[in-house]
A = this chain, B = another copy of it.
Amino acid sequence: MGKGLTSRADDYSAWYNEIVEKAGMAEHSGVKGCMVIKPYGFAIWENMKEILDGMFKATGHQNAYFPLFVPKSLFEAEEKNAEGFAKECAVVTHYRLKNDPENAGKLMVDPEARLEEELVVRPTSEAIIWNTYRKWIQSHRDLPLLINQWANVVRWEMRTRLFLRTAEFLWQEGHTAHATKDEAIEETEKMLEVYADFVENFMAIPVVKGIKTESERFAGAEETYCIEALMQDGKALQAGTSHFLGQNFAKAFDVKFADSTGKQEHVWATSWGVSTRLMGALIMTHSDDEGLIVPPNIAPLHVAIVPIYKEEDQLNAIKERFQPIMEELRENGISVKFDDDDQKRPGWKFSEYEMKGIPVRVAIGQRDLDQGCAEVARRDTKEKASVQLENLCEYISKLLGEIQTNLFERAKNFRSENTHEVNSFEEFKEVLNYKGGFISAHWDGTTETEEKIQELTKASIRCIPYKAKEESGHCILTGKPSTKRVLFAKAY
C-alpha cells in the first residue's frame, strides 16, 4: 500500500519528505524556511515535551520565559557567541507599517518608525538571559540558578528541510548558573544523561554520548557534550547538546556573586537544548517504506480499532463488545480510537494507520466477533495475531512494551552493523562511500586535520565518545600518534 510512498532504497530524501507530509507531521509554510507543524506531528512533540519537562523538573529546574528579541548591543556582548550566530540572524529594524501611497490597499514599512537599536530575533538566549541573571544573582545563596525555557528560535537558513533545518524551530534551552566550575560541569553532564535517557528510553533511539571537538563546539562554550544518533541512511544526527560555558557569559555580562567569605566571583554557566529536530531523528530511525513508526512511549495514539462490517447491526454489536475493552485500555494508560468513519474503507484505514505509525491496529469483523477474538497487528514487525477478546487488554499492554523494546533493539543492531573501526585513510574513504555509518578511527587531535578530512570526505567528527578507551594508534590522515578513537560520520 503505502499510498505510493517512495522507498528508502529508491530515494531516501524523497521518502523522508513524503512521510513528513503524508503522516500529517509538518509542511512548508508560506514563509520561506518556516514550517507548519501539523496536529499529528504536534501531538507527538507535545508528548515529548511533557516527558522532558517532567525530567527537568525532577532534576530541580524551573521554567521561565525570556524575550524573543535581543538588542544588538546585548547580542554582541559575548563575542564568540555573537560571531557564531551573526550570519544567520533575522533582524527587526522597524516597528510600524503604513499605507503605501503608491499602491492602494498595500502596506509599506514606515521609514519614520525605525528602531534606534536593531533587535535580533533570538537564535539562542544566552545573551538576554545572562543580562537578566546579573540582577538575579548577588550571593552564593542565589546559586545554583536552574532555569529552563520552552521557546521558538530563529536561525536563518537558505536550504531548509522540515524538522531538520528550518529558519524557525521550537526547542527548550536550559540556562544554569553555579558557584563552582565543578558544579557547572556536573550539571552539563547530568543534563546530557537526561537527554540520553529520554532519547533512548522514550524515543527508542540509541545514542552515543560524547564530547565535541573544538571546531564543532557551541559558539561561546568551553566544552560541548552531545548525544549522536545514526539514521537509516548511514548519516549521523546530533540529537542534543549540553554546554559548559565556563565564565564566558558571566564575564561578558558582569554576573558576579559574593561567596561565603564575601569575595566577589564570576559565576559558572551551562546551557543545554533539544529541539523539534528530534522529530526528524524519530522519523529517520524507525520508519519504513509504509510510513512512520512511533514508539509507544511517545505515541499520541496507541491503538486504532477498525471494525469491518456490512450492516449497521454488525457495527453496533462490535461497538458494544468493545466498549468495556476500550475502558480497560484507557484505565491502563493506553490511548485508543474506535474508527467507525463510514466514509472510508477498512483497507484505506489500515494504510492510514500504518502511515501514521500507530503502534497497534486491531481489526474485527462479524466472524471474529462470533469467535470472541480480534486480529491484532503490530506496526513495527507487521506481525498479526488472533487474540481472544477477554485477553485483549493484557495482550496489547504487553505488546506495547515489546514494540518499545524491539524498536530500540532494532535501531541498536542497525547501529552496531553500521559502526566500523578503520585504520587507514583508504579504508576510511572506502567504508564511508560503500557503507556509511559511524566510523571509529584515530585522529591526531588537531583542527587542521579534522578540517582536511571533512574537506576530502564530507565526514566530520561527531564526537569523542565517553566510552572511547585508551588505545595507542596513528591518525588516519597524518599518521601522527593518537591515544583514542573518535567517531566520524557524514551528518545532518
Residues of A in contact with B (beta carbons under 8 Å apart):
27, 29-31, 34-39, 42-43, 46, 62-72, 74-76, 79, 82, 86-99, 105-107, 109, 118-121, 128, 131-132, 135, 141, 147, 151-152, 154, 156, 168, 170, 343
Query: Cβ of A43: which chain B residues have Cβ within 8 Å of it?
Result: 62-63
Shortest 8 CB-CB contacts between residues of A and residues of B? A34-B67, A39-B62, A37-B65, A86-B97, A95-B156, A91-B94, A31-B67, A30-B131
Q: How far is the CB of A3 from chain B (nearest CB, A)?
A: 17
CA gap between A72 and B87 in the complex, in Å: 23
Q: Say yes or no: B89 contacts A96, CB within 8 Å.
A: yes
Other than A42-B63, A82-B97, give 15 A-B pairs with Cβ distance below 8 A: A27-B135, A29-B67, A29-B128, A29-B132, A30-B74, A31-B119, A39-B63, A82-B107, A86-B99, A87-B96, A90-B92, A91-B95, A91-B97, A93-B94, A109-B118
Once A31-B69, A67-B36, A128-B30 are accepted as A-B contacts, the answer to whether A95 and B86 lie under 8 Å apart by CB is no
CA gap between A43 and B56 in the complex, in Å: 14
Query: Cβ of A42: which chain B residues have Cβ within 8 Å of it?
Result: 62-65
CA gap between A402 and B343 in the complex, in Å: 50
Query: Cβ of A99: which chain B residues have Cβ within 8 Å of it?
Result: 86
Once A36-B67, A43-B63, A170-B65 are accepted as A-B contacts, the answer to whether A96 and B88 lie under 8 Å apart by CB is yes
Query: Cβ of A91: which chain B residues have Cβ within 8 Å of it?
Result: 92-97, 109
Query: Cβ of A96: which chain B residues have Cβ within 8 Å of it?
Result: 86-89, 91, 156
Q: Across the two chains, which residue of chain B brings its CB closest to A341?
A: B141
Q: Say yes or no: B75 contacts A31, CB within 8 Å.
A: no
Q: How far is the CB of A172 from chain B (nearest CB, A)?
A: 13
Q: Say yes or no: A72 contacts B128, CB within 8 Å.
A: no
Q: Say yes or no: A121 contacts B121, CB within 8 Å.
A: yes
CA gap between A81 and B333 in the complex, in Å: 44
Q: Across the two chains, which residue of chain B brings its CB closest to A156?
A: B95
Q: How far is the CB of A152 from chain B (nearest CB, A)?
A: 6
Q: How far is the CB of A24 from chain B (nearest CB, A)?
A: 10
Q: How far is the CB of A79 from chain B (nearest CB, A)?
A: 6
Q: Across the two chains, which residue of chain B brings its CB closest to A136?
A: B38
Q: How far is the CB of A179 from chain B (nearest CB, A)?
A: 15
Once A43-B63, A72-B97 are accepted as A-B contacts, the answer to whether A132 and B90 lie under 8 Å apart by CB is no
Q: Say yes or no: B95 contacts A92, CB within 8 Å.
A: no
Query: Cβ of A67: which chain B residues have Cβ within 8 Å of it?
Result: 29-31, 34-36, 168
Instruction: Give the one of A34, A74, A87, A97 with max B CB within 10 A.
Output: A97
A-side binding surface: helix, strand, loop or mixed?
mixed
Query: Cβ of A141: which chain B residues have Cβ within 8 Å of it?
Result: 343
Q: Across the two chains, which residue of chain B brings its CB closest to A66?
A: B36
Q: Across the two chains, which residue of chain B brings its CB closest to A141?
A: B343
Q: Across the two chains, which residue of chain B brings its CB closest to A105?
A: B79
CA gap between A93 and B156 in the complex, in Å: 12
Choose from B70, B88, B119, B152 the contact partner of A90 (Cβ within 8 Å).
Answer: B119
Q: How far is the CB of A235 from chain B (nearest CB, A)?
A: 26
Q: How far is the CB of A268 from chain B (nearest CB, A)?
A: 20
Query: Cβ of A79: which chain B residues have Cβ within 8 Å of it?
Result: 105
Once A92-B90, A95-B88, A119-B90 are accepted as A-B contacts, the answer to whether A72 and B107 lie under 8 Å apart by CB is yes
Once A36-B132, A42-B63, A71-B30 are accepted as A-B contacts, the answer to whether A97 and B93 lie under 8 Å apart by CB is no
Query: Cβ of A119: which chain B residues have Cβ within 8 Å of it?
Result: 31, 90
Query: Cβ of A86: which chain B residues have Cβ within 8 Å of it?
Result: 96-99, 107
Query: Cβ of A121: which chain B residues have Cβ within 8 Å of it?
Result: 68, 92, 121
29 A–B contacts, CB within 8 A, in A order: A29-B66, A29-B67, A30-B67, A31-B69, A31-B71, A31-B119, A31-B128, A34-B68, A34-B69, A35-B67, A36-B67, A42-B62, A43-B62, A68-B68, A69-B90, A86-B96, A86-B97, A86-B98, A86-B107, A87-B96, A87-B97, A89-B95, A91-B92, A91-B94, A91-B95, A93-B109, A95-B156, A96-B156, A97-B120
CA gap between A109 and B115 in the complex, in Å: 12
Query: Cβ of A152: which chain B residues have Cβ within 8 Å of it?
Result: 68, 151-152
Q: How far is the CB of A301 from chain B (nearest CB, A)?
A: 12
